[in-house]
Structure 1
């Protein structure tokens, strides 16, 4: 049997048992979960930078108000 026939047999076995679909679903879910974790980390970092900016503006406002 040639290699293409063997690959076809493997694909048929995965198709019949649904193993390939389960693996594809697992890969999709893993990728989506990893993207969610990365997005949440970026959002947290962005919120921290924005909070630092607001605190600095408040500090400057207090500084200028004290001079007046």
Structure 2
């Protein structure tokens, strides 16, 4: 089962940093998406890897993290 985590950030620069951090941590760039206009980063991952993705997003102090199944 996959999960999509969406981190919402106060600035595009912070979102970009979170995006780069996820990729540097080992998440494939094909499953990490940056929306600079909205200041959001989405990562599609397995349920097992979701806690690690959530932790990476939290390092960048998001306004919120939304999680959906599927």
TM band (smaller chain)? under 0.3
Instruction: Identify the structure with the greater helix proportion.
Output: 1
Instruction: Identify the structure with the greater strand proportion.
Output: 2
Is the radius of gyration larger for structure 1 or structure 2?
Answer: 1
Does 1 or 2 have the higher relative contact order (CA < 8 Å, sep 6+)?
A: 2
